[in-house]
Amino acid sequence: MLARARPGAVAESLTAATEAIIAAGRRMDRFGWVPATAGNISIRLSATGIAITRSGGHKGFLDSSGVILVDAEGRPLTPGDRASAETGLHCGIYRRFPEAGAVLHGHSPAATVLSRVSGDAIRLAGYELLKAFPGLPTHEAAIDLPVVANDQDIPRLQGVVEARWREAAGQPGGVVPGYVIRGHGVYVWAADMPGALTRLEALEFMLACELEQRRIAR
């Protein structure tokens, strides 16, 4: 059972954050969303500190040594520690959304395949599980999940994501708390880890449905 923090509140301790990250990795692995060493997971601990997965480990088999502390710019507090290669994307989310307390990144087949055949967004409409996203009290709604091109240059990729957030902020529905990197995987965030897992599961369910629907419609 994951500890639930107050919405918008940061996790109380590195120990609690580490436990929540380990449990989240196991859960994502059960669904097949973190194959090989894919995926990364973080929790905001304070205005200046983030607990995040170490780079290169299997996220379904984490122990406490697999979670390290970085500052708001993604610099490890212990010199020499190797934080996730995508730490800059986590920091970008926390910088832009003060209410974000947890970030999840996975490589599901559905997100990977759909993003490879989509333009700059994946439209999810009419699903009951849309209600897991903020401001959507009914299935009679739609979200345009942003899709951005994959890039091994993380600061440049983060710049593209920020440009999409600026565009979306001026549109009805505003910014969706998630995006997909084409052919790579999904990022989702929420106020705390249980909330982020709920959003990720809802999103992955809808992406899997979308993929299946397109398959049978051919």
Residue 55 interacting partner from Zn ion, ligand MRU, none (CB closer than 5 to 8 Å by kind) = ligand MRU
CB nearer ligand MRU, residue 8 or residue 159: 159
Number of residues that bind Zn ion (CB under 5 A): 1
CB nearer ligand MRU, residue 143 or residue 157: 157
Nearest-angstrom CA–CA distance, 17 and 66: 12
Q: Please, what is the minimum distance in Å from the beta carbon of residue 123 to Zn ion?
A: 23
184 labelled ligand-binding = no
Nearest-angstrom CA–CA distance, 17 and 77: 16
Residue 217 interacting partner from ligand MRU, Zn ion, none (CB closer than 5 to 8 Å by kind) = none
90 labelled ligand-binding = no
Q: With helix as H, strand as E and coil as C, how does the chain read?
A: CCCCCCCCCCCCCHHHHHHHHHHHHHHHHHCCCCCCCCCEEEEECCCCEEEEEECCCCCCCCCHHHEEEEECCCCECCCCCCECCCHHHHHHHHHHCCCCCEEEEECCHHHHHHHHCCCCEEEEECCHHHHHCCCCCCCCCEEEEEEECCCCCHHHHHHHHHHHHHHHHCCCCCCCCEEEECCCEEEEEECCHHHHHHHHHHHHHHHHHHHHHHHHCC
Binding site for ligand MRU (CB under 6 A): 36-40, 53, 55-56, 84-86, 105
Residue 132 interacting partner from Zn ion, ligand MRU, none (CB closer than 5 to 8 Å by kind) = none
171-200 mask for Zn ion (x: CB under 5 A)? --------------x---------------
CB nearer ligand MRU, residue 55 or residue 118: 55
CB nearer ligand MRU, residue 39 or residue 146: 39
CB nearer ligand MRU, residue 143 or residue 188: 188
Residues making up the annotated binding site for Zn(2+) are 105, 107
Residues making up the annotated binding site are 105, 107
